[in-house]
Structure 1
């Protein structure tokens, strides 16, 4: 590709990539915006990032302080569900650098770049890592939600991609973030744009919630179809058991009354142990033997517990995590061995063939003819199975189950016709869920394009 740069148009940078035609065209669109363009440095009183040193983490999630890194920041959302924690003493040290507060904006800057989230009202106390930038506006005439929508737009992402550094791990430097240009409409126009985008985002979230509910409510349908009643929880902490029924495990957790009710329920139907109806795959992968520069990696966090849906992450082979060792194929069922009761269990479609999964998964490859594979996925994700996994797990904050213990999970085996009925309903719900997700995303992308056109005009 050959292209030129007009005399006087060259800026501080002299790299060929910086002056690619797509960026020059974008410069013209920014210049032609009907609104004044200002840099983030002009509208922010603070542009900083978190500590550049890895702090000492603690396991106390009740008294610890949330520590936010790039994985905890998504478009418009700061997730506090799976953060690491630091001590209050560590927090007081880090807060001297930057202390996030309501209406600050977090922006991911290392690894996954360009995802912006607004700090909500009354957030829990938290600190940030170097992979996250903090932006604090200095003017009342600029709406923080408006700037957040802008930073999540293609208008901002093109600017990010133009200045990002790093070969293996993308890195947005603070000075480059500060130089990002943003068209600034009058405040009343900002409020109008934010209201429209809030409505579009609300509609998107509603459709996504409906899609999730279709899959997460399968448990109730499953029990009803199997002719079983949902067991009443028994949370007693003090109980007695007969010594004659103790075998193998002596810990009180294993013999808790709540688990006993599961087995009483299962005794009313035909069952088999999981190890009697499946075989686990031992296929492994070694990054040293991989010729490709990247591979598709499935870690435990890539499986959504609420729905059992999986995604992969394109990962550099030379940076393969030590646990990226399990070769999977389409139609495999992967079961998380860490916190298995959370339900991170996925039935992989053919597009996952050749992916690499974490050793934190058990890979079910062969399934008995007595069991429909889709039915097995559904029953493994039901509370009938998840509670058994919790019972057979060991460990404190991160309970895990071994494959041997997983093989002892009791699986109800109804007639094939009943299994097929359940599978038909699963497929119906999955199809409807996919339709809702598709509508949610297409509507959201249309709204984002409209937002950008309001700032820059048509392309």
Structure 2
């Protein structure tokens, strides 16, 4: 039973409530301005690695009224509805939204972090479920979103939620810094930290080189690619030798029970993977591979997006999509392999081996043939430690953000004193 009955519709608590759009002329892979889609937003989390891009000209011409700033709350309105994230500070780069994301600028009566936590809570989700228009592909219109009841609490509790959110965000930032350090360490060891390849207007390759490579596209034979392959293959084996594939089939499709499914869209920008609990009877046709702790999964589709992740002990026996290659690190730590596969130069080489234009993909055979460098123990230890520190910081962030969300539910169900006690607990 609710112990708080004071509420207002979201529209009455917002200076601005609107959604974005997709520009007619756009290239969402390059640009100067971050373009947020629903893939970037989950409850109290914002994945910068999944942001797309538009040009600054489009931003100026089409999104002058839909810009993210301090105090903005973004909220998904399609598929995973009402997953919200608050910008408690100004973003470090220009950002805007597409048509599947709502932009909310709250009034002074409600703090952004509390609003985002409320929308993601089971109370906010229950109200949102009543407003959605479909079951298979849920959608909530901006008009319906504006009518969503928002339970109001004291400034004291809202400030405590904001403080907890900030603490969680600090851990997210620490995790990002650790991952960046791991990548820089590995780039430095490969001689790629400040690498500037030659870019001649013309170049020549022997017919024998073309025949050996079994391909005729000029891009593959640029000096840039040639030097990059040489640096990546510094005396080391292939990826297959360092981490052979795991082909452990999922056989539960169509049977009883449930399973945890990792699809390509569930990979996060920090090298971790989310999962969705599904019924075996409704298993997607692409639910293919069983994964084990310490495995590294990497997407064969659009490899330039750096979609690789490390499987945790809690994910033992989860099922991965057929769009992944599942690798078992043997001669290298999982953390080093993960970092290597996510390096932009390595993803660039993978992209050279893709086929198809709509969903460019590299074959498992070609991926396993790619070079893997011989690295010294000091480099491997430093990269491994940095990635482990990043994942530890992320776990702490998840705990803090979940506590902020739970505090909203406790305040409504049990009263504010119980919620404040939860937020003050270690």
> Given the two structures, how large is their TM-score scaled by the length of structure 1?
0.66
Structure-to-structure mapping, 1:21-420, within 5 angstroms: 24=1, 26=2, 29-31=3-5, 36-40=6-10, 43=13, 60-61=27-28, 70-75=38-43, 82=50, 106-108=74-76, 111-117=79-85, 126-129=97-100, 142-143=107-108, 146=111, 149-153=114-118, 157-161=122-126, 164=129, 178=147, 180-183=149-152, 193=158, 200-222=164-186, 228=191, 230=193, 232-234=195-197, 236=199, 238-244=201-207, 245-247=209-211, 248-266=214-232, 269-285=234-250, 288-292=253-257, 294-305=258-269, 307-365=270-328, 371-374=331-334, 375-382=336-343, 385-396=346-357, 399-414=360-375, 418-419=376-377
Q: Is the 8 Å Cα contact of residues 175 and 390 (structure 2) preserved in structure 1?
A: yes
TM-fit CA distance, 1:254: 0.8
2:417 matches 1:458: yes
TM-fit CA distance, 1:183: 2.1
2:397 matches 1:428: no
SS at match of 2:237: strand
SS at match of 2:197: coil
What is the number of equivalent residue pairs in this alignment? 395
Q: Which of the pair has the greater relative contact order for Cα pairs under 8 Å at 6+ separation?
A: 2
Output the CA distance in 2 between the equivalents of 1:110 and 1:311: 19
From the superposition, tell whether residues 213 and 193 of structure 1 become closer, same or farther in structure 2 (CA, over 3 Å): same
From the superposition, tell whether residues 343 and 183 of structure 1 become closer, same or farther in structure 2 (CA, over 3 Å): closer
TM-fit CA distance, 1:48: 8.4
Q: Is the 8 Å Cα contact of residues 34 and 94 (structure 2) preserved in structure 1?
A: no
Output the CA distance in 2 between the equivalents of 1:68 and 1:325: 30
Q: Is the 8 Å Cα contact of residues 287 and 322 (structure 2) preserved in structure 1?
A: yes
TM-fit CA distance, 1:382: 4.2
From the superposition, tell whether residues 271 and 383 of structure 1 become closer, same or farther in structure 2 (CA, over 3 Å): farther
Q: Is the 8 Å Cα contact of residues 20 and 66 (structure 2) preserved in structure 1?
A: no
SS at match of 2:417: coil
From the superposition, tell whether residues 272 and 66 of structure 1 become closer, same or farther in structure 2 (CA, over 3 Å): closer
Q: What is the aligned partner in structure 2 of residue 437 from structure 1?
A: 394
Q: Is the 8 Å Cα contact of residues 155 and 452 (structure 1) preserved in structure 2?
A: no
Deviations 1:179-199 (A, max 9, x none): 5242276xxx59x956x7656
* RMSD between aligned residues: 4.8
Structure 1 unmatched ranges of 5 or more: 1-23, 87-94
Q: Is the 8 Å Cα contact of residues 203 and 222 (structure 2) preserved in structure 1?
A: no
TM-fit CA distance, 1:317: 4.0
Q: Is the 8 Å Cα contact of residues 114 and 152 (structure 1) preserved in structure 2?
A: no
SS at match of 2:372: strand
User: Is the radius of gyration larger for structure 1 or structure 2?
Assistant: 1
Q: What is the aligned partner in structure 1 of residue 424 from structure 2?
A: none
SS at match of 2:183: helix
Deviations 1:382-411 (A, max 9, x none): 456434323333455754211221122112
SS at match of 2:8: strand
TM-fit CA distance, 1:134: 6.8
Output the CA distance in 1 between the equivalents of 2:35 and 2:225: 35
Structure 2 unmatched ranges of 5 or more: 55-62, 419-426
- Answer with 275-284 or 154-163: which moved more: 154-163
> Given the two structures, how large is their TM-score scaled by the length of structure 2?
0.70
Output the CA distance in 2 between the equivalents of 1:45 and 1:229: 48
